[in-house]
């Protein structure tokens, strides 16, 4: 574990700015803790290690780091553009640079790894302190590598999760937004998936994320069905998922259901009907 003292020593050994050029900015839990300290929050996010976003073309630090051209698989950009999302804070007379709440929300919802419970609490903190600009976040979501490009859906889904304080559903992002984007009636589907997350008590956030991903894989095969037929199909798929362990569900989806949907398209409704019988 790291502390504010080891953080200060790290930045003294590796300055964040050299001759007015930004060398790196803090990401992850380090950035969250800096923002908490800067506003005098009672919350104190533990710092497990230092996460850096490196702005200069060459640089290697003995901690977790990434470059602007690939920010943990979330987005690709350039230093000049991402510098707009850097904020400066002063703690005990010492200045630091970290990414702002909007950019941190992007990285905590769209990274290569599934969001975790602690990411949920981080984003809830940022939201409660009005540190997220949702208009800016929407623009970033439109460029995110792993997220649907259907406008507004990711922002609406995230706001729904935060409003309903559903940490388990949060851990399915961005897969959840991608699944919802397959439907016209996004509000109904969001409610259906939220209800499912509460009813399926056997599955934690990680397992639920797997189910959401596999369900999306099935729904994509049903593109020729009407909206109502897809909604009915989604209900049957979720009921079937609730009866199965997420590992078994994943195996059945990819080794049995997807091939049957794909190669017997005229039988899709019959296959769906038979799932729970």
Q: Return the DSSP state at 2.
A: B
Q: What is each CA distance from 133 to 44, 160, 202, 272, in whole angstroms?
A: 22, 16, 35, 41
- The tens digit of pLDDT for each residue in 204-239 reads 999 999 999 999 999 999 999 999 999 999 999 999
- The percent of residues in the chain predicted with pLDDT above 90, rounded, is 86
What is the separation of C-alpha 107 from the centre of its chain, rounded to a whole number of angstroms?
7
Q: According to the 3-state scheme, what is the secondary structure of 24-82?
A: EEEEHHHHHHHHHHHHCCCCCCCECCCEEEECCCCCCCCCEEEECCECCCCCCCCHHHH
Please, which pLDDT band fits residue 57 given cuts at 50, 70 and 90?
low
Q: Domain spans of the chain?
A: 1-146, 165-274
- The tens digit of pLDDT for each residue in 71-96 reads 988 998 888 999 999 999 999 999 99
Q: For residues 67 and 54, give the distance between their C-alpha atoms in angstroms, rounded to a whole number.
A: 5
Please state which CATH number belongs to domain 1-146.
3.30.460
Q: For residues 90 and 105, give the distance between their C-alpha atoms in angstroms, rounded to a whole number.
A: 21
């Amino acid at each position: 574990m790291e502390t504010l003292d080891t953080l200060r020593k790290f930045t003294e050994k590796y300055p964040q700015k050299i001759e007015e050029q930004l060398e790196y900015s803090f990401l992850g839990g380090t950035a969250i803790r800096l923002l908490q300290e800067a506003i005098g929050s009672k919350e104190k996010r533990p710092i497990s290690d230092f996460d850096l976003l490196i702005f200069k073309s060459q640089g290697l630090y003995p901690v977790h780091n990434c470059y602007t051209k690939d920010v943990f698989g979330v987005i690709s950009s350039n230093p000049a553009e991402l510098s707009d999302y850097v904020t400066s804070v002063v703690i005990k007379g010492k200045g630091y640079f970290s990414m702002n709440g909007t950019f941190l929300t992007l990285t905590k919802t769209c990274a290569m790894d599934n969001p975790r419970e602690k990411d949920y609490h981080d984003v809830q903190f940022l939201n409660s302190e009005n540190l997220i600009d949702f208009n800016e976040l929407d623009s970033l979501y439109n460029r995110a590598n792993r997220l649907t490009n259907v406008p507004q859906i990711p922002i609406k889904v995230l706001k729904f999760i935060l409003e309903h304080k559903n940490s388990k559903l949060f851990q399915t992002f961005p897969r959840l937004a991608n699944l919802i984007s397959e439907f016209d009636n996004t509000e109904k589907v969001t409610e259906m998936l939220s209800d499912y997350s509460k009813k399926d008590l056997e599955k934690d956030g990680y397992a639920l994320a797997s189910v959401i991903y596999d369900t999306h894989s099935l729904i994509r095969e049903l593109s020729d069905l009407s909206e109502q037929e897809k909604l009915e199909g989604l209900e049957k798929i979720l009921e079937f998922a609730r009866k199965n362990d997420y590992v078994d569900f994943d195996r059945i989806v990819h080794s049995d259901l997807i091939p049957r949907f794909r190669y017997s398209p005229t039988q899709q409704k019959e296959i769906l009907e038979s799932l729970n019988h």
